[in-house]
Homo-oligomer: A and B are copies of this chain.
Amino acid sequence: MRIALYGATGYAGMEALRIMLQRTDLEIVWIGSDTHAGHPLAEVCAQFRGASIASLRYSAMRTLEEPPDADVALLALPHGEAHRHAPGLLARGIRVVDFSGDYRLPPALYEQWYKRPAGPVETPAVYGLPEVFRADIRSARLVANPGCHATAAELALLPLAEKGWLDGQRVTVDAKSGVSGAGRSPQLTTHFVEIDGNFTAYRVGQHQHTPEIEQTLAQASRRRRRASDDASAMSGASMATDAASSGRQDDGAVKILLTTQLMPVTRGIYATAYAPAPPDMNTDALYELYRNRYENEAFVDVLPPGQIPELRNVTGTNLCQIGLFVDDRTRTILVTAALDNLGKGAAGQALQNVNIMSDLPDDYGLTATARR
């Protein structure tokens, strides 16, 4: 498989390179960077001095006349840039996995939350969350790789949404992210001195991953009801065990308040999600629900009751670790999800998607465990 990597000097792009360099079945044929065009990889990123492609030179992206000769293109670019490159690649038959938000939302939502014009949408994109859309990813031409906060929140809440328990509820996701999520271009807000010993919320209530999470969870909820309707039609049985069953007048919409906060670590998302607990729900039952939901998923690790995710157990890996707790005093479900924003939150998930698109096992080349 021949891979072209757009945006090879950002943190997500470098992580994609690092992972791919451990594989022998992938050939990295082209790396794109406007700033460093013409320079060899290892001159710009000294960590790759010993790599097989150390002397591969960056190509300019802006002035590109025709796409590189590749089977798959990974676009690890800022929002707004994928729209410029994806159509040409797709027209050439090159499959695209886009790391940005450009193809994750319908145009109206995109423009509302990203405050920029949406691009053309000739090729329909598949949302690249394998735990929900694996079948569609397999044959996709264009995959919209999920956002890092979105991946954590969605995996944390998906089993609840599929039960309909989030419909019409006040759901809160208190999320903390590492600094690499803020990108590599120097700003005062990512200066070491400003981050060291600090912790701060940002873009409170306005983070652009919010609609992406709501969309995925609403789809999960609708899917459930459709399945439920089908089942009812077939069997005539009632669905009384599902808390959010028929009587609801709402349309399955899930509303999320996403609080994003910057913590002084390089990598990681640690999201704590809060939702009302249905009657009789307890931690053990919740664990059963999640364990069943994710038992065939290589990268979702549901911890038994009493165990709590730690960020360092997922750093450098493609894992999402999930912890569960039902607080009886306030009747609240608390779900904690930990992942690496550059791993399962970006490059790792992109390569998981490439595996699926190539009929390889999800975890091919992605089995690294966390270091201490």
Chain A positions 166 through 207: 1 when the CB is less than 8 Å from some CB of chain B, otherwise 0: 000011101010011000101110111111111111101100
A294 at the interface (CB under 8 A from B): no
A310 nearest CB neighbor, chain B only: B200
Task: Tell whether A265 pairs with B329 under 8 Å between CB atoms, given A172-B172, A201-B272.
Answer: no
Point out the residue from B11, B261, B372 that lies within 8 Å of A266, measured CB to CB: B372
A113 to B266 Cα, complex, angstroms: 35
Q: Is the CB of B329 within 8 A of A257?
A: yes
A186: B residues at CB distance < 8 A: 186-188, 190-191
A288 at the interface (CB under 8 A from B): no
A184 to B186 Cα, complex, angstroms: 11
A287 to B61 Cα, complex, angstroms: 36
A3 at the interface (CB under 8 A from B): no
A22 to B364 Cα, complex, angstroms: 12
Q: Is the CB of B371 within 8 A of A257?
A: no
Q: Is the CB of B51 within 8 A of A310?
A: no
Q: Which of A41-49, A72-80, A151-159, A244-252 contacts B (4 or more CB under 8 A)?
A: A41-49
Q: Is the CB of B197 within 8 A of A265?
A: yes
A264 at the interface (CB under 8 A from B): yes
A327: B residues at CB distance < 8 A: 205, 257
Q: Is the CB of B199 within 8 A of A265?
A: yes
Task: Tell whether A276 pairs with B372 under 8 Å between CB atoms, given A50-B319, A308-B201.
Answer: no
Q: Which of A84-92, A139-147, A331-339 contacts B (4 or more CB under 8 A)?
A: A331-339
A200 nearest CB neighbor, chain B only: B310
Q: Is the CB of B329 within 8 A of A172?
A: no
A201 nearest CB neighbor, chain B only: B308
Chain A positions 310 through 331: 1 when the CB is less than 8 Å from some CB of chain B, otherwise 0: 1111011001000101010111
Point out the residue from B192, B202, B310, B342 that lies within 8 Å of A192, measured CB to CB: B192
Point out the residue from B49, B180, B338 that lies within 8 Å of A301, measured CB to CB: B49
Q: Is the CB of B266 within 8 A of A313?
A: no
A14 at the interface (CB under 8 A from B): yes
Point out the residue from B330, B338, B369 that lies within 8 Å of A21, measured CB to CB: B369
A371: B residues at CB distance < 8 A: 14-15, 18, 47, 316, 342
Q: Is the CB of A197 within 8 A of B267?
A: yes
A170: B residues at CB distance < 8 A: 276, 330-332
Q: Which of A47, A265, A268, A311: most chain B CB closer than 10 A?
A: A47
A5 at the interface (CB under 8 A from B): no
Q: Is the CB of A18 within 8 A of B369?
A: yes
A369: B residues at CB distance < 8 A: 18, 21, 47-48, 50-51
Chain A positions 25 through 50: 1 when the CB is less than 8 Å from some CB of chain B, otherwise 0: 00000000000000000000011111
Q: Is the CB of A196 within 8 A of B272?
A: no
A residues with CB within 8 A of B:
11, 14-15, 18, 21-22, 46-51, 170-172, 174, 176, 179-180, 184, 186-188, 190-202, 204-205, 255-257, 259, 261, 263-268, 270, 272, 274, 276, 298, 301, 307-313, 315-316, 319, 323, 325, 327, 329-332, 334, 336, 338, 342, 367-372
In the complex, besides A49-B301, A186-B186, A192-B192, 5 extra interface pairs with C-beta distance below 8 angstroms are A18-B371, A51-B369, A170-B332, A179-B191, A190-B191
